[in-house]
Amino acid sequence: MTTSLTNVAYSQTTFSGYIEATLMNADHENAVNIPATKSLGSESLFRIDSKGKTSNGMDYSLFQEFESDESFAFHQRQIALSPVKDITLFYSFDSVKGSELARTLTPYATERHTDVTGQTGVPELIDITSGENFIGFDINNLGPAGSLSVAYNPNMDTTSNTGSDRLLPLTNSQSGYSVGYKVTPVAGLTVGAGLTKIDSKNTTFQDVTAKSLGFTFAKAPFAIGAQRVQNEGLKTTQAATQKDQADIISATYAVSKEITLGLGYLQNERTLAGVKSSVETESRLVALAYNLGPVVTSLNYEQSYDTPASGTVAPTSGRDITITKIKVKANF
């Protein structure tokens, strides 16, 4: 790939990004060590994309993101090369590849349950790509409007390599692969599945198997979908084996060209060391989005019941959290 990119026949570069601000208000029941109940914050992202053809006629693309709210200012990035039509080889950092292709399979007016504030304690589909360097390939048009993404990460130490000329200072504690696939068998219906497998070489880490299966059916002005996410094991050190099973149902309705209403329901069942928790975490979400082209304003109201104090402990009965979030996002 490096050799092919040294002589570029032509290229096209674009710039994009956004600036957003949020106002959040929270109400917590039976909770300790909680965040502030009121918060005003902002973040911004700037992205550079380039694409073109190499001197031997192959397509290539790359992008780099600069993000204000992440620990890595130079955040998502990727180099991709297509030796033949519909097949792309890539190196990437933190982008949506592999099983993350099926991370979100249900429709939302604005944000997912886990993105509104991250206070539900419900985990994402475990992947090998978040905050990590990895390689892989994509195959497009595999089935009706189908996309397959395969990613491999040879070293998943807790500190990602921030350079390209040095070995990681830590031992190779984990490695893994993930596969994601989405297809549209009939008009309006999209089905997707994801699989992650992580092999832990350190006894303090757990092996991981994560699966996702879901669908979305859209027929204007409605869209509805359902998804199940199942995680077994953890990417972090923990003695007790953990299993999470989250079921998600969400729907959207386009009230007008500018206004979209969204509803969501999430239920998570957690098992620690083979013992199923006596209560299950539930999250209910109502969202309203007003789209003015480059500027989008939104309101999210989320109620979460019996939430765990963290993503690695049992849910607490009566630990309820209510969040109201107003966001203004301007894209460029």
Number of H helices, E strands in the chain: 1, 17
Residue-level pLDDT at 9: 46
C-alpha to C-alpha distance for 326 and 21, rounded to whole angstroms: 8
pLDDT of residue 36: 59
What is the pLDDT, as a whole number, of residue 8? 47
pLDDT at position 295, please? Answer: 96
The pTM score is: 0.88
User: Tokens at residue 87, please?
Assistant: 């097949």
- pLDDT at 235 (0 to 100): 83
Contact 247, 267 (CB under 8 A): yes
Domains and CATH numbers, the chain: 18-160+171-331 (2.40.160.10)
Residue 123: what pLDDT? 81
Number of Cβ within 10 Å of residue 233's Cβ equals: 21
Q: 208 and 198 in contact (C-beta within 8 Å)?
A: yes
Task: Identify the pLDDT of residue 164.
Answer: 73
- Start-to-end C-alpha separation, the chain: 31
Contact 193, 213 (CB under 8 A): yes
Supply the pLDDT for residue 210. Answer: 97
pLDDT averages per 10-residue partition of the chain, 332 residues: 50 92 87 69 94 92 89 84 96 94 94 85 89 94 95 78 65 86 96 96 84 97 97 82 94 97 96 93 96 95 91 89 94 95
Q: Residue 318: which residues within 8 A CB-CB, separation 6 or more?
A: 29, 30, 306
Task: List the one residue out of 266, 270, 269 whose CA is nearest residue 242.
Answer: 270
Tens digit of pLDDT for each residue in 164-190? 776 665 666 789 999 999 999 999 999
Pairing, β 281-292 against β 259-272: antiparallel
| Spatial distance between the Cα atoms of 194 and 211, rounded to a whole number of angstroms | 6
